[in-house]
Structure 1
Amino acid sequence: MGDLSSNCTTSIMHLPDDCLTIIFHALDSRTDRESFGLTCRRWLHIQDFNRRSLQFECSFTVLTRTSLSGKSFDIHTFHLHRLLRRFQHLESLSLCGCRELSDSGLTRLLTYGSNLQKLYLDCCFKVTDYGLSLVASGCPSLTTISLYRCLGVTDKGLETLASACLSLKCVNISYCTQISDKGLKTLTEHCRQLQAVNISHCDSITGIGFGGCSKTLACVEAESCKLTPEGVMGIVSGGGMEYLDVSCLSWSVLGDPLSGIGFSSRLKILNFRLCRTVSDTSVVAIAKGCPLLEEWNLALCNEVRISGWQAVGLYCRNLKRLHVNRCHNLSDGGLLALQDGCRSLTILYLSGCSRLTSIALELFKSHRPDVCIKEEEVMSIKPNWEFR
């Protein structure tokens, strides 16, 4: 009877920490998981110990690209130090929009960053090369880093990071205007598991830093960059490219600079929007050489004429989404070629094509009821890549 009485006083509070951890992970409801730590200090410790991701409210201001002048909660060095001491096993940390965070705020990563795999520092304007050196020293397991608009980061910081974090797969350095091909070259030489790189709006990058990149590199965003033909060849040199955005290119050469460049046969999504000098020569070569192409944005590519459209219709058998907005040399004959070919096409973004007649458009709709015609351009979201 004494033993039975003793057993009756046993409660869940007598369970060891590993059992409580199993219970915590078994909770299906997000609300229940977030409320777990409200029970007592011990349960709060269990919850903190098992937290793997941390994102602050100020992050959402940046992610939705609202005005940076608006008031929002900001993380200072003191706050971050306390939080990293509390959540010591984080695998993902987003500090996007923490404009007051300085390099010293990242020193705690030297102690608590060993498990960190993803780090987002978008619009952390006060972070410089020194802060990136702290990241490099404290986060050897890093696979994803976003430095969008980190204007204080230069080639030196990127080189330090690339030399220490050899497992990097996704790197966003868009709008990092002080980074050039030199820093990019170090990144591609050291990080041989790279899958995705965003260099959009980096005026000092021509693309040659990609030369000799690993075949794992499958995604490059280079919107509004000053790429050279040699730079584009460097981007595709690995042979594994699946998603390429070279929209709004500012070419430093005359004619069609993409002519003669062999694009990856694995290419699935290609954005040429506002590449006004792209000609039939390049379009025909890509249509023939990229049989897996599923989406192609040729909006405002005014040098693409009848032979280019015929090649798209004839060879792009897997093409599902095609953008031809404001292509002034898309005529009735070109639309007919798309109508008779591109048997997998489901969406055609079409507007502002001055040479198209209403009759040709109605015939297309009649013969291809399986194709939805839209005016607004929306590019597909990149699968499995960590850009913001």
Structure 2
Amino acid sequence: MDGLTSIMDLSDDCLSIIFKWLDCSRDRESFGLTCRRWLNIQNLNRRSLQFECSFSILNPQTLAQTSLEINSDHLYRLLFRFQNLEYLSLSGCTKLLDSGLTHLLAYGSSLQTLCLDCCFQITDNGLSPVAIGCPSLVVVSLYRCNITDVGLEILANACLALKHVNLSWCLRISDLGLGTLSQRCRQLQAIKISNCSNVSGVGFRGCSQTLVYVDAECCNLGPEGIREIVSGGGVEFLNISGLNWLHGNEMAAIGNGFAARLTILNLRMCRSIGDESIIAISKGCPLLQEWNLALCHGVRFPGWESIGSNCHNLEKLHVSRCRNLCDRGLQALRDGCRRLSVLYMLRNIKLSDTAVELFKLYRSDVRIKGEEEMFIGPDWTA
């Protein structure tokens, strides 16, 4: 009997291997209830931490009800307990101060994803310990944070492995900060800058070929900025919806060679885009699979005809409330776009009932949806 051993005689490394092999979440959660030693092993093997309020940040009313008053002491205790976190979301912790992030200096070395969405008190000062303490950071989300170009420079100079960055509604950033980010982080794959009114797009000059996802809805983009966004040649997803001040062929740069890999393009509410741009894009982006042209009133028959003739891989097309989509334009789409499977079409005042019925008759393979779906695109963190 003296020679017998029990599971308690196993080393911590062996117990960690056993814990990792547990495929039942209930078993993993119960593992730490055995004793303090097993609880410590469970804590050290935890890789992600997310608070309940993180799930509700897109609803301001829900956010106000569920916000957690996480302070520096709370965060210290959490990071001390879970020392090998790879994913940490503090999104919705609206009272968190810059000082709370200083604990990442000691416990952020394994962190790859950090979400600070709606952490309204976080400023450039809080990004300094993030940059120093989290050298392995790959994904950072700063949605609605009060950071400036200074904070972006701090991150870009230290976190060279960054691939996905969310800066939507960061109203104080500009092309200067984006320029530093795109020049220093040469592995950058996805960036969100929606509603950043000080961004014209020129900060993307010289961006890496790895950049495949750009969400720049409602920015102050100009023709030069659009050219720079696609200048790396790797962009596959591009959302520049809400540009009402561009005219004629000012978006033609998208179709002039650098965006040949583009598969999803959102130009919703670009009301003044003209046929010249549409023709250039339809010819220069042969891989397009989804194109949102809802509320693009400047597109007329030559534009629709070019889409039908050149967009051979197009599967989804949004044309809702396009005032100048006429019967001839719909026929051009009907006779072309052989891979089209879904057409979002609603309130097109120039279309006759006859043209619509003929489309349905000849293209029974295409679903016509009257209600436009929210244009989301692929998961930018995937």
**What is the TM-score normalised by the length of structure 1?**
0.94
* Aligned-residue offset at 1:74: 3.2
8 A contact 1:74–1:97 mirrored in 2: no
2:2 is equivalent to residue 6 of structure 1: yes
8 A contact 1:226–1:250 mirrored in 2: no
* Aligned-residue offset at 1:376: 2.5
Q: Could you tell me how far apart the structure 2 residues matched to 1:269 and 1:181 are?
A: 24
Which residue of 176, 179, 202 maps to 1:182? 176
Q: Could you tell me how far apart the structure 1 residues matched to 2:21 and 2:210 are?
A: 36
Alignment of 1:268-347 (within 5 A): 268-347=263-342
Which residue of 19, 29, 32 maps to 2:27? 32
Letter of the 1:377 counterpart? E
Partner SS state of residue 64, structure 2: coil
Partner SS state of residue 69, structure 1: helix
Alignment of 1:228-243 (within 5 A): 228-243=222-237
Query: Which residue does the alignment assign to 1:83?
Result: 78
8 A contact 1:188–1:210 mirrored in 2: yes
8 A contact 1:274–1:301 mirrored in 2: yes
* Aligned-residue offset at 1:296: 0.2
Query: Which residue does the alignment assign to 2:367?
Result: 372
Q: Could you tell me how far apart the structure 2 residues matched to 1:88 and 1:294 are?
A: 43
Q: Could you tell me how far apart the structure 1 residues matched to 2:111 and 2:165 are?
A: 15
Letter of the 1:89 counterpart? N
Query: Which residue does the alignment assign to 1:358?
Result: 353
* 1:43-63, Cα deviation, whole Å (9 max, x unpaired): 111111111111011211215
2:255 is equivalent to residue 259 of structure 1: no
8 A contact 1:227–1:250 mirrored in 2: no
8 A contact 2:215–2:240 mirrored in 1: yes
Letter of the 2:165 counterpart? V
Query: Which residue does the alignment assign to 1:15?
Result: 10
8 A contact 2:217–2:241 mirrored in 1: yes
Q: Could you tell me how far apart the structure 1 residues matched to 2:182 and 2:253 are?
A: 24
2:196 is equivalent to residue 220 of structure 1: no
Query: Which residue does the alignment assign to 1:50?
Result: 45
Q: Could you tell me how far apart the structure 1 residues matched to 2:202 and 2:82 are?
A: 41
Which piece of structure 1 moves more, 260-269 or 332-341?
A: 260-269
**Residue ranges of structure 2 left out of the alignment (5+ in a row):** none
Residues 17/168 of structure 1: CA separation in 2 closer, same or farther (3 Å cut): same
Partner SS state of residue 65, structure 2: coil
* 1:258-278, Cα deviation, whole Å (9 max, x unpaired): 134525100000000000111
Letter of the 1:315 counterpart? N
Query: Which residue does the alignment assign to 1:192?
Result: 186
**Residue ranges of structure 1 left out of the alignment (5+ in a row):** none
Alignment of 1:102-251 (within 5 A): 102-151=97-146, 153-251=147-245
Structure 1 runs of 4+ aligned residues shifted over 6 Å read none
Q: Could you tell me how far apart the structure 1 residues matched to 2:180 and 2:344 are?
A: 39
Q: Could you tell me how far apart the structure 2 residues matched to 1:335 and 1:118 are?
A: 45
8 A contact 2:294–2:318 mirrored in 1: yes
* 1:318-337, Cα deviation, whole Å (9 max, x unpaired): 11110000001111111111
Q: Could you tell me how far apart the structure 2 residues matched to 1:260 and 1:79 are?
A: 50
Q: Could you tell me how far apart the structure 2 residues matched to 1:361 and 1:183 are?
A: 48
Letter of the 1:146 counterpart? S
Query: Which residue does the alignment assign to 2:96?
Result: 101
Alignment RMSD, CA only?
A: 1.6
Q: Could you tell me how far apart the structure 1 residues matched to 2:370 and 2:31 are?
A: 49
* 1:165-207, Cα deviation, whole Å (9 max, x unpaired): 0111111111111101111100011000110111110011100
2:64 is equivalent to residue 69 of structure 1: yes
What count of residue pairs does the alignment treat as equivalent?
380
Partner SS state of residue 238, structure 2: strand
Residues 63/48 of structure 1: CA separation in 2 closer, same or farther (3 Å cut): farther
* Aligned-residue offset at 1:66: 5.1
* Aligned-residue offset at 1:148: 0.2
Letter of the 1:198 counterpart? K
Q: Could you tell me how far apart the structure 1 residues matched to 2:303 and 2:377 are?
A: 26
Structure 1 vs Structure 2: percent identity of aligned residues?
A: 59
Q: Could you tell me how far apart the structure 1 residues matched to 2:62 and 2:249 are?
A: 37
Q: Could you tell me how far apart the structure 1 residues matched to 2:379 and 2:266 are?
A: 18
8 A contact 1:94–1:119 mirrored in 2: yes
* 1:201-256, Cα deviation, whole Å (9 max, x unpaired): 001110000011001011111111110111101101101010000001253x6544
Residues 71/120 of structure 1: CA separation in 2 closer, same or farther (3 Å cut): closer
Q: Could you tell me how far apart the structure 2 residues matched to 1:338 and 1:157 are?
A: 47
